[in-house]
Chain A
């Protein structure tokens, strides 16, 4: 009952009440709601004719993604230092859509990622670029998704571990690259990389959990660094890395849960990233994925299984499918009026998957036709659960070879 689809009337009764005090925040919100209501209205009309609506145009998205895996238009120049990210976003999206590229293409991708691997360990955003925690996380996840021996063996784990040490600070925090900025993304990427590749040691992450907890704010979410505002992307980084470190008891989970549930927009159905900001498709994942993590923590704490996720899964699916699909060309967007991009495509789909599968226990809840179902994700790594396990186990079974001294 709590997951059913909302009718137009119900949605339109949720418009923002300015209480006669109009400010920049409220007028932005009112504008977005007007656009979204129009789209929901239109949708209701077409749904009367086509009862299987809404539909995810899987084939269109897959085609676009496969094209992007080869070449991207010039407007992607701004992502020239994030090409391993593009690889991950595309492969993960295709994996969710259950349409992986052929083995030959995947082998090409492994060769490309190897070119991005730096002699000092870790991966740069492109060939020859300095190693960076974000682009390394993306490369490691991409290799896990590919999941072949060639992919696993292309990773130089001895130098990777050295790289992790060079970006670690004495207080347990991590800089994104040598000489670069330091924030909670660094901590999450480092933990996730180290856990998947079996390069984790207690010493490498000494005090890291404490540092992450110092980023939890009075609102309950996590900020990029201590003192800053709670933010959806950073909240995911915070709770996911604490979970990977088995240190969630150090943070206030009830406060985090309250903050997270409040990020779901009452009219739009999607998530905002911060209090009094606008809805955005990518937070479908950053906030959405926090929920199965929180449910797992609460189950552990209360010793009573919480099999569900505590947000409105139907409303999130409505927002992503009806308002964020870029058609006819394919891809997903932040919100109506914005251009599609690979980042939003990946995280809208990832969030949609969480909205469909919840904690993974019980039957999935699929809005629209049954073929809308996507594959599941592992909420801590954001790759498919079996791909994460395969990689973890491979790297446990094959400890890093001792490097040749020559």
Chain B
């Protein structure tokens, strides 16, 4: 928050400005008793008393536009002020380019605020000009690579105006910087899902990319989740992709006990059971074992969940055994 205190030497209260003396300030209507009354600074009270007056009179003027700037600076989350400012911009035919520069500045000061990003989006829509959005969001993501608002604005601009061209490089760099940045992985999915498409080739390429990253660190949930996400689009499913299954079994053989690996193998078993395609590695018995290992050793915080899953697989295991028995009886 910017300083709204009285240290602001050059500040003149609206009530002391001659160009505003035709306006009667409207104090907040608090009712007879105090309820969640905020101890505002004198400046805050003054600015908002005049903002309420302008709003009440529906005054559409340059000075009102300027007033909304002061109001927004004191509280950038005031959606009423932003909405009224947009109404003013329209009514006055203000140069939207300078407004774009202005909101960029506000975004730099309050990058985690719904209203400022929405204002930006409306301006870009009005101008039909997304040429600065990748840079603007790129800057915000440099400061905070997981800033949800910045990503959301970026996705909107990319999707609305078809700006996919260099996005994969952008994402690659972010994942290289921090392979645990889940927002970057999500953006990767966004690009393939909305632009490149899940062709067999793309699916295999994404799988290879992800397996490389998992080799690098095995406890990275982001990469494991992405792998599962990609495999939604593999016609052979989770259990039918030999590259993936052998990769997982290799890790397991080499004593890797990352809970995400074990969970992934459980998912492979689950799919195999559901498809009726169990084999010596992927079956209900294995799933039961892995759930127990997770519950008691490798993922204890989630023991309740793994025990719950375990019970589900035990039922499947019972069926598997019944089937085996039946088959054996038939042989006799």
Contacts and interface: CB of A to CB of B under 8 A. Distances in A.
B182 A274 contact: yes
Interface stretch (A39-47, A63-71, A281-289, A345-353): A63-71
Contacts of A7: none
A8 interface: no
Given A111-B31, A127-B28, A227-B194, A23 B38 contact: no
A275 B222 contact: yes
Given A21-B216, A87-B36, A111-B32, A312 B303 contact: yes
A181 B119 CA distance: 9
B114 interface: yes
Interface in B106-164: 114-115, 117-118, 121-122, 145-146, 148, 151-152, 155, 159
A266 B300 contact: yes
Interface in A53-73: 68-73
Nearest to B29: A127
Contacts of B222: 275-276
Interface stretch (A190-198, A257-265, A394-402): A257-265
Interface on chain A toward B: helix, strand, loop, or mixed SS?
Answer: loop
Interface stretch (B58-66, B78-86, B238-246, B275-283): B78-86
A130 B219 contact: no
Interface in A298-313: 306, 308, 310-312
Contacts of B299: 266
Contacts of A25: 178, 180-181
Interface of A: 2, 10, 14, 17, 19, 21, 23-26, 68-74, 76-83, 86-87, 90, 108-109, 111-112, 115, 124-130, 132, 176-181, 217-219, 224-225, 227-231, 257-258, 261-262, 264-266, 269, 274-277, 306, 308, 310-312, 315
17 contacts: A2-B303, A21-B217, A24-B145, A70-B35, A77-B40, A78-B77, A80-B44, A81-B78, A90-B36, A112-B36, A218-B229, A219-B225, A229-B151, A229-B183, A275-B182, A308-B304, A315-B301
**Top 10 A-B residue pairs of the complex, sorted by shortest distance between their CB atoms:** A218-B229, A25-B180, A112-B35, A275-B182, A229-B186, A23-B178, A181-B118, A108-B33, A81-B78, A266-B301
Interface of B: 1, 4, 26, 28-41, 44, 48, 52, 55-56, 74-80, 83, 86, 114-115, 117-118, 121-122, 145-146, 148, 151-152, 155, 159, 177-183, 186, 189-190, 193-194, 216-222, 225-226, 228-229, 232, 263, 299-305, 307-308
